[in-house]
Copies of this chain bind each other. A is one copy, B any other.
């Protein structure tokens, strides 16, 4: 076996090496190269200036961990054929290929499809182009393949997606609290009755993994400044669409304009959707923000300038929705400060639920030395963040006192 490999430098793992063949063909495809232009953490670089890493790099990293996991499992006697190995590697490589510019939230502003559905659409298109070479990967990705643990490695509580992104996001933000012992977790993985399990000795690492995940939510993914920026972008885009539907002319890159002026719906043939969608990336939105600083519409211009020059809104997390009185108070202040704008177009509310570990949906299973297997919550005596926590936010321009 003389299998040449291409090497990608990765500050997180040192190297990611990819065998020549199907995997490299996919990486070289323009669909995948597009991920070089989509950041993993959207606007979080406003808070963590190092967090500029892309979904391209994340996908390579997840592939790397998958390759390591396959080695570990095989060394423990788990049978994984070369075809299955390639299939599960393709599945993890492409798991995010349908991701749109910036965050999930923004996705919905552009298309009425979940990014996983879009990823599947991309995979099918690639499969067609490559004469069915992705059949097995698609079966795994959609949980149609008999060996369930392969699916769990792609999409589960301990999948290679999470393992890489926690690790990578922690690395590039510099938030050391998010560091997980991914290598120890991987080394503790095994398969029992066709399902992924963790050896007993790995339990502390799993506890730590869940703690780190929860922490990354509040410290990074839902950091108030990052969410504020995202809210501004969402409302900026919503405003642009409003204007577009009113027939106003707006400067915008052609690729984005298509989605601005007419939202894809069931009448768009899949092929057309894919063709246009496959050209969208973060730079289209940044281009818009830059164009719209000079927009005639004062709201659009206000939001754009704020976003471009990082004059971001204030955001607060609350345990309950904003009460009426506070809302009125804030609106009054906004009105006083920005008399040329409509206050309620500048006050955004919403909520987020997080649950670091959803045992009901997909339990993490612990394998004991005596062969017994138990759900994690049955064995651990610490808080595992299995209950969803909901918080409410309110977001509006910083009130400056003159």
Contacts and interface: CB of A to CB of B under 8 A. Distances in A.
A255 interface: yes
A112 B176 CA distance: 41
Contact of A50 (B11, B47, B187, B214): B11
A251 B12 CA distance: 39
B286 A37 contact: yes
Interface in A19-76: 28, 30, 33, 36-37, 45, 47-50, 52-54, 56-57, 60, 74-76
A235 interface: no
Contacts of A294: 254
B254 A291 contact: yes
A82 to B, nearest CB: 14
Among A9, A181, A255, which residue has the most Cβ atoms of chain B within 10 A? A9
B183 A15 contact: yes
Given A54-B52, A211-B208, A382 B381 contact: no
B251 A251 contact: no
Interface in A288-347: 290-291, 294, 308-310
Copies, count: 4
A52 B49 contact: no
A14 B208 contact: no
A389 to B, nearest CB: 7
A205 interface: yes
A299 B361 CA distance: 54
Nearest to A309: B30
B15 A50 contact: no
A135 interface: no
A188 B248 CA distance: 49
Nearest to A182: B176
Contacts of A385: 382
A106 interface: no
5 contacts: A9-B48, A10-B49, A11-B171, A177-B208, A207-B215
Interface of A: 1-5, 7-12, 14-15, 17, 28, 30, 33, 36-37, 45, 47-50, 52-54, 56-57, 60, 74-77, 171-177, 179-181, 183-184, 187, 204-205, 207-208, 211-212, 214-215, 218-219, 251, 253-255, 279, 283-284, 286-287, 290-291, 294, 308-310, 381-383, 385, 389
